[in-house]
Chains A and B, each alone.
Chain A
Amino acid sequence: MSQDPTAQYAAIDFTPLLQFSDDEVVTHSLVKDVKLPSGKTLALITLDNGRDHTRPSTLGPATLIELSGVLDGLTARAAAGEIAAVGITGKQFILAAGADLSKVGEIPSKDAAKMLAQLGHSTLGKLGALGVPSFAFVNGLALGGGVEIGLNSTYRTIDTSAAALALPEVFLGIIPGWGGATLLPNLIGIENALKVVVENPLKMNRMLGAHEAYELGIFDVEFDHVNFLEESLKWADGVLAGSIKVERKNAPGRIERTVKWPVALKIARDTIESRLGTVPKSPYAALDLLNKAKDGDIAAGFAREDEVLADLISGDQFAASIYAFNLVQGRAKKPVGAPDKSLAKKVTKVGVIGAGLMASQFALLFLRRLEVPVVITDLDQARVDKGLAYIHDELQKLADRGRLSRDQHNKLKALITGTTDRSQYADCDWVIEAVFEELSVKQDVFADFEKIVSPEAVFATNTSSLSVAQIGAKLEHPERLIGFHFFNPVAVMPLIEVVNAPATNETTLATAMLVAKNLKKNAIITTDSTGFVVNRVLAKVLGEAMRAVDDGTSFATVDEALAPLGLPMPPSELLDLVGLKVGAHVLDTHHAAWPERFYRSDNLHRVAELGALLEKDGKGKAKGVSRDAERLVKANLNPGGKPHTREQVLQAVQDGFADEVHRMLEEGVVAAPEDIDLALILGAGYPFQMGGLTPYLDRVGASERVFGGTFHSPKIVGAASREAAAAAV
């Protein structure tokens, strides 16, 4: 380290930041002197916000300013020879959960955003400039700034029971900017740092376990919880005495910096581009910082982080990301419109109608999550046996991977049965169908089973395109029927659309919401309206894409036109993923419901008949639209159609989205735009940087163009946009 990286902040007055933190839950920096076995004194800082572990300590401006003052005091004590070291740890189970995100959204300007970045650097950086060594004793959860407390310290120990460690910033649209992007690669090497800073956040915010973090080299030593602090203090004493030598085997050497560094970054950049496109800013900002960190100049790295963080914090993507994060963390867990859960019926036995792949996946999920008897059935024993074999096979795989203990495995095997004897459904409280997607089939199946089950048993249908009310038309008790729409793959996708049909009663709805929760899924409640939420939005984007294609626009142009949205995949790949027949059917269904707004495409049916839209390489990766498909479409263009420009395609989709979402809200399909965003994030993987959908539609002006308003007031945009808007007035 060439110079004290905090020197550049010495003259800054940070008190203006206190203006927007008057209701901050301040994490206090409590100090106690600890006598080490050698007799030396270590000043131990405990970060504690005075709340229990359900409200993790966070690092807001007031917290940082207090910590900064405490560290100044300890620097003076170190200079006076009163203390030999400084330790920093957290309250029970928690070190710190990083910046207080509820406050970051209120940052008024880009200047303030930069000041916040600088305050973090100035404060945490002092841990590396005390005049005596500092030790971070990471006793529990450490996220973002919590991890950076450790990185700025001279040494680090970790409690093996720590719940999670992560630098989740990139997931939220920013970068680890209190030293993380600079210090981490210089501590654990570029490949490990890429994993922690970029790869994990982009894998649905994957976090590190304590041991994993130790193995990566983030920590110098790990100790069990039982005497974590005692051992950490003893270890610190050994380090101070020189009897313990700290080796950092993953710290980068000269060859890594010159050779490995650029290669690793190139690979990472290519991977992210192919997965996410180039719309989200934070991953690329992080890559850039990690790249530059190879110079090992910490002070310069801190200054770079300040600039980038100021940009991102004041930008629209971060505002949308925080909005999305809060939806996923909050609204998803307390669904709007759910009746009191005391109304829910207890589900003690589940019946699945069908034994095909979908039915078997349902059975497996209910079995694993509810741990109640589950019975499957089909037309003949051979199909039932096939379904059972699939389920047993999947359970065996889980057991082989250590995910199920022997007892648990035996328990689940004993709970799953298959039968052609429908009388075994008599005591099921919950019956879900996974039969052919045809109205009369579903109607008859439920009518038949109604004769067997109790009058109170709940019926759930997984229909994606039929009317739940019509499915229940032949039921004596249609109030027991509810739509329960999963997304593929059932085990992975977190969303269930719970369709509250006109006849559905509160008990049924409450039961469905509780079942969804117990399945560890997030449910949103929709009305019984075509496509519910997710398919209606997908039908819009696919319909507009096919309209352009049928008018003579190439698939490639359509895909490129929609790239600025930053959706998980272009329309051609989405069609390939959902299946061409399914895609064509979804368009037909929506067109039938609203012919003036939803486009249907005969060409899509033709390509479906042909078999494939995309050409793929040996690994199954799409190389582009197949010549045959292009030719087939070209031969059947809309009469009088003209190719659309990219701008036209993009605006048609944006405006179509705004119109359809606006209509859904007018119709009351869901309670609020938040529910639509949540559904799209959880059910279709719509990105945080769009805030799902509606913050994006507001910020690009589509809402204004289509209905002369916005979904959110004020718009969910960053401080920079707010400042620009104010300047324009």
Chain B
Amino acid sequence: MTSEVYFVDGTRTPFGRAGEKGMYWGTRADDLVVKATVGLLERNPQLPKDAVDDVAIAATTQTGDQGLTLGRTAAILAGLPTSVPGFAIDRMCAGGMTSVTTMASAIAFGAYDVALAGGVEHMGRHPMGLDADPNPRFLTEKIVAEDALFMGNTAERLHDRFPELTKERADFYGMRSQQKVEAAYQAGRIQPDLVPVAISSAEGWGLATEDEGRRPGTTMEGLATLKTPFRPHGRVTAGNSSPLTDGATMSLLASGESVEKYGLTPKMRLVNFAFAGVEPEVMGLGPVPSTEKALRKAGLKIEDIGLFELNEAFSVQVLSFLDHFGIDDDDPRVNLWGGAIALGHPLAASGPRLMMQLARQFAEHPEVRYGLTAMCVGLGQGGSVIWENPNWNGR
């Protein structure tokens, strides 16, 4: 009954700066998902639309234009036949990743042949935690520290826990992310998976074609001057954190049989995945146990991983992962084309973004057999997905 699961393709909207000045302020969250979906379907025309077994869309704040069972609404609005069902998923920042693993599970089990999995977060219209009503027991019973509910504070807590993770290391990592993204843009490596989005504003219609939040001119000197909004004289700044972002991602998953049947060209094969929990106040550490678990399940060691796509919620959180596994801060296997600090992190949309970036790197690196996509999750979780490179040349 089990089947291989392939990541066939992925597309996303360009990521926009959240807020009134951001390019998507006048664009609905569900429309972002729809644009990404239509773009993905259009470039895979050999796939009959009615072959899609299900559509999973994740969002952290599922309300208003980002609510109403996003997978189903997006499927209808994107012109999929009414026979194609859909649903919504939430695992905060790993929502999109969970869309992928959930759909992959159904394919692996044999229930599904083809599925769409994606995520969206319009943080301008739906700031994280807006309208949330955390159970008071969290604090009254000291189940979690107060810091746990504010992501910036959890990042400061990681600095506390690991004094060797200095602000300078965090800033340097942030600067390198900007530089690597810029280099990748210059080389045209990011753009192929971007679906242009028509954007309306008080200044008229425009077209979003590139990620909006990049700061290629970032310097260590400049970073040193930034405020530490989460703690006086703290270490976490806008320069070593991912910015608030609007964006949507979508990916196409298929069974081995479907890949043959529809003549699809898979970009990655799913090896295994895991999610795991840590103390919520150090949520950035989550990818460590989830990766160990996924490696164990896959029967692999960290040394087997040739390419890492780690979500950069905060520099310190990536660095804690690298330190744990004994990987250098500027290791060329890690986030080759930069990451969320420069591109942005539209929470539930980010997982598939890591995957589409890893998939393109696989194509350029046939010497690499395995890659890892991993990310931390609010309330103390980590998610890790291990992929195999179909282009692997065995060397």
Contact = CB atoms under 8 A, between A and B. Distances in A.
Interface of A: 30-32, 34-35, 37, 44-46, 48, 89, 91-92, 224, 226-230, 233-234
A224 B206 CA distance: 18
Given A35-B209, A224-B79, A229 B198 contact: yes
Contacts of A44: 204-207
The range of chain B's interface size is 10 to 19
A227 B204 contact: no
Contacts of A35: 207, 209
Given A227-B35, A230-B35, A30 B78 contact: no
A89 B207 CA distance: 13
Contacts of A45: 204
A92 B31 CA distance: 14
Interface in B199-219: 200, 203-207, 209
Contacts of B106: none
A32 B197 CA distance: 14
B35 A32 contact: no
Contacts of B206: 32, 34, 44
A227 B77 contact: no
Contacts of B205: 32, 44, 46, 89, 229
Interface of B: 34-35, 38-39, 77-79, 195-198, 200, 203-207, 209
A138 to B, nearest CB: 13
A226 B204 contact: no
A180 to B, nearest CB: 25
Nearest to B37: A226
A45 B206 CA distance: 9
Given A227-B35, A230-B198, A31 B204 contact: yes
Between B78, B198, B205, the greatest number of chain A beta carbons within 10 A of the residue's beta carbon is seen for B205
6 contacts: A30-B204, A45-B204, A46-B200, A92-B200, A226-B35, A230-B197
Nearest to A224: B79
Nearest to B205: A46
A578 to B, nearest CB: 50
B38 A34 contact: no
A227 B196 CA distance: 9
A233 B198 CA distance: 9
B204 A233 contact: no
A151 B209 CA distance: 29
A48 B34 contact: no
Between B200, B206, B207, the greatest number of chain A beta carbons within 10 A of the residue's beta carbon is seen for B207
Contacts of A89: 205
B44 to A, nearest CB: 16
B37 to A, nearest CB: 9
Nearest to A50: B202
B46 to A, nearest CB: 20
Contacts of A227: 35, 38-39, 198
A226 B198 contact: no
Given A92-B200, A224-B79, A229 B34 contact: no
Minimum-distance CB pairs A-B, first 4: A46-B204, A30-B204, A229-B198, A32-B206
A234 B207 CA distance: 11
B204 A32 contact: yes
Nearest to A229: B198
A31 B38 CA distance: 27
B207 A230 contact: yes
A91 to B, nearest CB: 8
A37 B210 CA distance: 11
Given A92-B200, A233-B196, A226 B38 contact: yes
Between A31, A230, A234, the greatest number of chain B beta carbons within 10 A of the residue's beta carbon is seen for A230
Nearest to B203: A30
Between A48, A227, A233, the greatest number of chain B beta carbons within 10 A of the residue's beta carbon is seen for A227
Given A31-B204, A32-B206, A34-B206, 9 more contacts: A32-B203, A35-B207, A92-B200, A224-B79, A226-B78, A226-B79, A228-B198, A230-B195, A230-B198
Nearest to A48: B204
Nearest to B210: A35
A48 B202 CA distance: 9
B49 to A, nearest CB: 13
Contacts of A228: 198
Nearest to B198: A229
Nearest to A92: B200
B69 to A, nearest CB: 19
B34 A226 contact: yes
Nearest to A234: B196
Nearest to A233: B207
A230 B196 contact: yes
Contacts of A91: 200
Between B34, B38, B78, B198, the greatest number of chain A beta carbons within 10 A of the residue's beta carbon is seen for B198
Contacts of B195: 230
Contacts of B34: 226
Nearest to A226: B38
A233 B200 CA distance: 15
A137 B197 CA distance: 15
Contacts of B196: 37, 230, 233-234
Contacts of B39: 227
Nearest to A33: B206
Contacts of A224: 79
A412 B181 CA distance: 62
A491 to B, nearest CB: 33
A126 B77 CA distance: 38
A233 B197 CA distance: 11
A48 B200 CA distance: 11
A164 B78 CA distance: 23
B57 to A, nearest CB: 16
B208 to A, nearest CB: 10
Contact of B207 (A30, A92, A226, A229): A229
Nearest to B79: A226
A659 B79 CA distance: 62
A226 B200 contact: no
Contacts of A229: 198, 205, 207
A29 to B, nearest CB: 8
Nearest to A42: B207
Contacts of A34: 206-207
A127 B77 CA distance: 34
Nearest to A32: B206
A44 B204 CA distance: 8
A91 B78 CA distance: 22
Nearest to A46: B204
A682 to B, nearest CB: 39
A48 B206 CA distance: 13
A67 to B, nearest CB: 13
Contacts of A230: 35, 195-198, 207
Contacts of A92: 200
A401 B79 CA distance: 25
Contacts of A233: 196, 198, 207
A91 B204 CA distance: 7
A137 to B, nearest CB: 8
A48 B201 CA distance: 10
A224 B197 CA distance: 14
A226 B198 CA distance: 10
A114 to B, nearest CB: 32
A616 B278 CA distance: 93
A35 B196 CA distance: 10
A391 B267 CA distance: 61
A37 to B, nearest CB: 8
Nearest to A30: B204
A37 B192 CA distance: 11
A421 to B, nearest CB: 43
Contacts of B203: 30, 32, 46
Contacts of B197: 230
Contacts of A226: 34-35, 38, 77-79
A66 to B, nearest CB: 13
A233 B199 CA distance: 13
Nearest to A87: B205
A227 B32 CA distance: 11
B33 to A, nearest CB: 11
